[in-house]
Amino acid sequence: MNTLVRVADASVVLGADGRGLRGGQDKYVRTLSHISLCLLPGERVAVVGSNGAGKSTLLRLVHGLLEVCEGSVVRAPALRQAMLFQRPHMLRMSVGSHVALGLWLRGKPWALAKRQALDVLEQLGLGSLAPRKAQTLSGGQQQRVAIARAWALEPQLLLLDEPTASLDPYAKGEVENLLQAFCQAHAEATVVFASHNLGQVKRMATRVVYLERGRLLADLPVEQFFDPLVLQAHCPSAHHFLKGELL
């Protein structure tokens, strides 16, 4: 099977280029250590671990927003990829234009981009939002529009950093339903999502990657990750993490 992304023995140090360090910190921070991971077509990979474990850093690395200081990240040629964040960044324009802009940036003429954007919004049941100002939408609506924007690009790799973490339960459900619809409509697409929601991990993932202090300690099919005996034998600290999260 064709590998979409191959991360080999990758380490990331934030601040090594003088940027990215949070204010007040004067030393470099190693956020990922010797990570190896291959992403294949059609996988649904959940990235789990405590706060600060390196989930966001890993997703940003895979998306190409960060560079390795050791190791390598190799992507399939001309890979179409999109990334969503916990809080979507909405532009100061209508929802229709916000979605169209993604297509225009990839080279579509504006009129065509606008038409396709409206088609996708309509198809996803978000047509009524098209004329609204993107920044005035609720958090759940914004996240669904962000998914529609990514959907319009037909990504082979979709990366999501805790896409439902800041939403109320109802909006969480709506966003998750839309993600499930994306997965069903794009069986070949690879979806990688960081999540603190173990129910969501069980519902959506085929594979679970566990990070702890920047290291990848477990990488298992979802059934094995949630099998206490298997997990305890394979990775005691992931087992501990899971027990803590379930308390």
Ligand X SMILES: Nc1ncnc2c1ncn2[C@@H]1O[C@H](COP(=O)(O)OP(=O)(O)O)[C@@H](O)[C@H]1O
Q: In the complex, which residues of this chain contact ligand X (CB under 6 A)?
A: 14, 20-22, 25, 29, 31, 49, 51-57
Residue 195 is a binding residue for Mg ion (CB under 5 A): no
Which of residues 33 and 156 has its CB atom nearest to Mg ion in the complex? 33
| 8: phi then psi, degrees, rounded to nearest 5 | -125, 115
Q: CA-to-CA distance for 143 and 120, rounded, in angstroms? A: 15
Counting every residue written for the chain, the total comes to 247
Residue 128 partner contact from ligand X, Mg ion, none using kind-dependent CB cut-offs of 5 to 8 Å:
none
Minimum CB distance to ligand X, residue 160 (Å): 12
Give residue for tokens 């225009």: 104
For helices 110-123 and 139-152, give the axis angle rounded to 10 degrees: 120
Minimum CB distance to Mg ion, residue 205 (Å): 17
CB 121 within 8 A of CB 96: yes
For helices 139-152 and 169-185, give the axis angle rounded to 10 degrees: 10
Minimum CB distance to ligand X, residue 58 (Å): 7
Residue 163 partner contact from ligand X, Mg ion, none using kind-dependent CB cut-offs of 5 to 8 Å:
none
Q: Name residues whose C-beta falls within 8 Å of residue 100's C-beta, 6 or more positions apart in sequence.
A: 110, 113, 114, 116, 117, 118
Which of residues 55 and 98 has its CB atom nearest to Mg ion in the complex? 55
Kindly identify the residues of this chain, within the stretch 37-76, that bind Mg ion according to CB under 5 A. Answer: 55-56
Task: Give 156's DSSP letter.
Answer: S
Minimum CB distance to ligand X, residue 209 (Å): 11
HSE-CB for 114 with a 13 A CA cutoff = 7
Residue 54 partner contact from ligand X, Mg ion, none using kind-dependent CB cut-offs of 5 to 8 Å:
ligand X
Minimum CB distance to ligand X, residue 47 (Å): 8
Which of residues 126 and 159 has its CB atom nearest to ligand X in the complex? 159
Minimum CB distance to ligand X, residue 155 (Å): 21
Residue 155 partner contact from Mg ion, ligand X, none using kind-dependent CB cut-offs of 5 to 8 Å:
none
Residue 53 partner contact from ligand X, Mg ion, none using kind-dependent CB cut-offs of 5 to 8 Å:
ligand X
Which of residues 129 and 235 has its CB atom nearest to ligand X in the complex? 235
Q: CA-to-CA distance for 230 and 246, rounded, in angstroms? A: 17
Q: CA-to-CA distance for 207 and 46, rounded, in angstroms? A: 6
What is the number of other CB atoms lying within 10 angstroms of the CB of residue 139?
17
How many residues lie near Mg ion (CB under 5 A)? Answer: 2
Question: Which residues form the interface with Mg ion (CB under 5 A)?
Answer: 55-56
